[in-house]
């Protein structure tokens, strides 16, 4: 990977793209530390330093924003509204025929769906920004912090509207920065910004584990966590690269005096076909009951049961439900993102077939059978990886946002592999020597 970056910096046009991407990253990180008007920054820092308050329900969203959410900065919402909007549009594409038709129109249809995603992102940013301001004003953003209710001293309508507008504008700027990286930089801009947001929380999380350790002044716990991290990165890279290649043969066709087709290729089906989406879905769904209890301040039996079983990441009910939700959403997302019948029809249209399998419906049934077989280990792998923070919670006293586990490690490894793959492909285009030297 380092060799690819070194070779890229030696190529003038790639060097410009890499430097442009680094410049956008610097601007993004500066924005994550600029507080919005109407917030008492001293009280915010006091609550952030409070370990109990910093490990509440908003920890996962704070990780995606690079720590900007709990600091209530102009980029507090980060990339989450765009991710949510993109997932919603992808799900609606299966349900709404108009969106499905746009998806099949090629580049023009994709541009239209991207425009819808931008509009939905702004709407979600307004909704999430309003919820964040209301949570901060009520003191529920930092549980256990003595000055949590004094984060927003002035609770007038003007200040509230200003805060919401500022965070919404910040989300629009983040979306624009991501699109700039995609157009003029290296890799997918939104993925790069998500990568930077998660990686920015690693140093503080690792140092907190070291300070909380008791063996050899915390260095043994720190070294153990680093070793576990390297092992997990290797495991994730191995599984993310694993795929089942289904051979496809295309028959020869005579058009005039020329022969077309007769080539062999394959359909790559990844073991983890769903990516990190099932983990995000499962975590979001489990947070909803705890948020309802938090805002209702109810002391009824159902609220007590939710706090004891679903709100606690170390509770047995939370672990079991979290695991089964990840497995369910893995199958659900694969079912809506990969259509075996559509793939089989396209193969039949262009004269392709799987050796030993008849074209048409038998091909679709075979693809569905193989996809179900490889989705099982992929979904179990996602569930086990996502439970690593819970084990760290018990073993090292870390919070549920353990740096080398679950969503964070999956996103970092996935984005890193994809970015390096794009750099290497561009290097091959520019350094192709041909057969004669």
Task: Give mean pLDDT, residues 364-372.
Answer: 90
Which H or E run contains 155?
A: none
The band of 436, judged by pLDDT with boundaries at 50, 70 and 90, is very low
pLDDT score of 437: 44
pLDDT at 402 over 80: no
Q: Which of 345-354, 375-384, 404-413 shows the lowest mean pLDDT across its residues?
A: 404-413
Rg (CA), the chain: 24
**Tens of pLDDT along 377-393?**
989 988 888 877 666 65
Name the more confident of 30 and 386: 30
Average pLDDT over the chain reads 80
pLDDT score of 348: 82
pLDDT score of 165: 93
Q: Positive or negative, the Cα torsion across 137, 141, 144, 146?
A: negative
The band of 403, judged by pLDDT with boundaries at 50, 70 and 90, is low
| Residue 436 backbone phi and psi in degrees, to 5 | -100, 135
Three-point CA angle 418, 89, 119, nearest 5°: 100
Which H or E run contains 255?
A: strand 253-255
303 φψ region: left (φ > 0), alpha (ψ -120 to 50), beta (else): alpha
pLDDT at 50 over 70: no
Contacts of 145 (CB under 8 A, 6+ apart): 46, 47, 50, 52, 53, 139
**Tens of pLDDT along 244-272?**
888 888 777 666 666 665 678 888 888 88
Q: Residues 274, 325: contact at Cβ < 8 Å?
A: no
> Which tokens is 120 given?
């939905």
SS3 state of residue 338: coil
> Percent of the chain, pLDDT > 90?
8
C-beta atoms surrounding 189 within 10 Å = 23
pLDDT score of 169: 93
pLDDT score of 180: 92
Q: Which of 109-123, 158-172, 344-358 shows the lowest mean pLDDT across its residues?
A: 344-358
Residue listed under structure tokens 């009280």? 43
Give the total residue count for the chain. Answer: 437
The band of 166, judged by pLDDT with boundaries at 50, 70 and 90, is very high
Q: In CATH, what is the architecture of 201-404? A: Orthogonal Bundle (1.10)
Say how far apart CA 365 and CA 362 lie, in whole Å: 5
**Tens of pLDDT along 184-198?**
888 888 888 888 888
Closest CA to 341 of 325, 326, 361, 327: 361
Say how far apart CA 433 and CA 419 lie, in whole Å: 23
Closest CA to 175 of 187, 198, 192, 160: 192
DSSP state of 35: B
pLDDT at 241 over 70: yes
Task: Give mean pLDDT, residues 93-117.
Answer: 83
Q: Residues 191, 96: contact at Cβ < 8 Å?
A: no
Burial 164-173 (b: 16+ CB within 10 A, else e): bebbbebbbe
Task: Give mean pLDDT, residues 171-182.
Answer: 91
pLDDT score of 126: 92
Q: What is the largest CA-CA distance in the chain?
A: 84
pLDDT score of 422: 83
Say how far apart CA 31 and CA 69 lie, in whole Å: 12
| CATH 1.10.3370.10 residue spans of the chain | 1-200, 201-404
**pTM exceeds 0.85 for this model:** no
What topology is assigned to 1-200 in CATH? Preprotein translocase SecY subunit (1.10.3370)
Say how far apart CA 424 and CA 412 lie, in whole Å: 18
Which H or E run contains 351?
A: none
Say how far apart CA 322 and CA 317 lie, in whole Å: 8
**Tens of pLDDT along 111-147?**
888 899 999 999 999 998 888 888 888 777 777 677 7
Say how far apart CA 202 and CA 398 lie, in whole Å: 13
Name the more confident of 46 and 26: 26
Say how far apart CA 14 and CA 185 lie, in whole Å: 8
The band of 428, judged by pLDDT with boundaries at 50, 70 and 90, is confident
> Which tokens is 18 given?
């890499």
> Percent of the chain, pLDDT > 70?
84
Q: Which of 168-172, 203-207, 209-213, 399-403 shows the lowest mean pLDDT across its residues?
A: 399-403
Q: Which of 26-40, 51-65, 190-204 shows the lowest mean pLDDT across its residues?
A: 51-65
Q: What's the half-sphere exposure (Cβ side, CA atoms, 13 Å) at 319?
A: 13
pLDDT at 1 over 70: no
Query: Got the DSSP string for 368-382?
Result: HHHHHHHHHHHHHHH
Say how far apart CA 264 and CA 248 lie, in whole Å: 6
Q: Residues 75, 27: contact at Cβ < 8 Å?
A: no
Task: Give mean pLDDT, residues 395-419.
Answer: 69
């Amino acid at each position: 990977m380092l060799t690819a970056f070194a070779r890229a910096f030696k190529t003038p046009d790639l060097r410009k793209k890499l430097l442009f991407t680094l410049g956008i990253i610097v601007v993004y990180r500066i924005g994550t530390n600029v507080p919005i008007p109407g917030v008492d920054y001293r009280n915010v820092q006091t609550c952030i330093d409070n370990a109990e308050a910093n490990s509440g329900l908003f920890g996962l969203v704070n990780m995606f924003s690079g720590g900007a959410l709990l600091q209530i900065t102009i980029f507090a919402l980060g990339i989450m509204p765009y991710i949510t909007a993109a997932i919603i549009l992808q799900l609606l594409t299966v349900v709404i025929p108009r969106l499905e038709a746009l998806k099949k129109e090629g580049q023009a249809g994709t541009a239209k769906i991207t425009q819808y995603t931008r509009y939905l992102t702004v709407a979600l940013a307004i909704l999430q920004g309003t919820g964040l301001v209301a949570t901060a004003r009520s003191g529920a953003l930092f549980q256990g912090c003595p000055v949590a209710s004094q984060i927003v001293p002035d609770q007038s309508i003007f200040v509230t509207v200003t805060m919401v507008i500022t965070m919404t504008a910040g989300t629009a700027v983040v979306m624009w920065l991501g699109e700039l990286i995609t157009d003029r930089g290296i890799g997918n801009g939104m993925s790069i910004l998500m990568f930077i947001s998660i990686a920015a929380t690693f140093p503080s999380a690792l140092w907190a584990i070291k300070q909380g350790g008791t063996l050899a002044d915390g260095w043994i716990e720190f070294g153990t966590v680093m070793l576990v991290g390297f092992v997990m990165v290797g495991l994730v890279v191995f599984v993310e690269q694993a795929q089942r290649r289904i051979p496809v043969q295309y028959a020869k066709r005579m058009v005039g005096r020329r022969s077309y087709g007769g080539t062999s290729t394959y359909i790559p089906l990844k073991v983890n076909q769903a990516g990190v989406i099932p983990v995000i879905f499962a975590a979001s769904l489990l947070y909803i009951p705890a948020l309802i209890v938090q805002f209702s301040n109810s002391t009824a039996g159902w609220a007590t049961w939710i706090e004891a079983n679903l709100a606690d990441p170390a509770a047995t009910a939370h672990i079991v439900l979290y695991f089964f939700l990840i497995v369910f959403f893995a199958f659900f997302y694969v079912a809506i993102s990969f259509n075996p019948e559509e793939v089989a029809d396209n193969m039949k249209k262009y004269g392709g077939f799987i050796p030993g399998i008849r074209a048409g419906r038998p091909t679709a049934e075979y693809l569905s059978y193989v996809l179900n077989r490889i989705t099982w280990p992929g979904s179990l792998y996602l569930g086990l990886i996502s439970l690593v923070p819970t084990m760290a919670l018990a073993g090292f006293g870390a919070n549920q946002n353990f740096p080398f586990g679950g969503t964070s490690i999956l996103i970092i490894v996935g984005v890193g592999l994809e970015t390096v793959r794009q750099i290497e492909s561009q290097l091959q285009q520019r350094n192709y020597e041909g057969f004669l030297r």
